[in-house]
Structure 1
C-alpha cells in the first residue's frame, strides 16, 4: 500500500513539474535614434558601470499592451571626476 501511495505521489509531482510553463526572457533590443517607445511602466534599469566613458545600460519595461521588453542604450559611466 505504501509503495502505491509513494508511486502516486511521485507521479503527481513529476507531472506538475512538467506542466509548468517555461518563462522566456524577452530579446534585448539596442536603442536607435528616433525609435518609437511605448513605455507604460519601467520595471528595472541596470546600474551604471563605474568607468569614465560610454557604457551600456539595460532598461526592462512593460508597454501599454502588457508585454515586457528590454532596451539597451549607452550612457556615460559614473567613474568620471571633474
Structure 2
C-alpha cells in the first residue's frame, strides 16, 4: 500500500512539473476606438469581412506591432452589401 501511495505521489509531482513548463498565455492588447487611433501595424493577422452585410456593422482588426505584441481593434464600419448602394 505504501508503494502505491508513493507511486501516486510521484505521478502527481511529475504532472505538476510538466504543467509548469507550458508557455505562458500571450497577452492581447485591446485598442480603444476613438476619433484617431495610432496603429503600429507590423503584420496583419486578420480582419472582418463585411462583404454582403448591409448597414453599419461591427468589425475587428487583429495585428502584431513592431514588438510582436498582438493587438485587437474593434470598430464600426459601413457594410458593402446593400442592394440600394451605387
Shared fold per TM-score greater than 0.5:
yes
Aligned to 1:4: 6
Under a length normalisation based on structure 2, what TM-score does the superposition of the two structures give?
0.67
Structure 2 gap segments, 5+ residues each: none
Aligned to 1:73: 75
Structure 1 gap segments, 5+ residues each: none
Distance 1:65 1:25, change over 3 A: closer
CA-atom RMSD in angstroms? 2.6
Aligned to 2:36: 34
Cα shift readout 1:3-47 (whole Å, capped 9, x = no counterpart): 423321222213432x24552542422433432211000112234
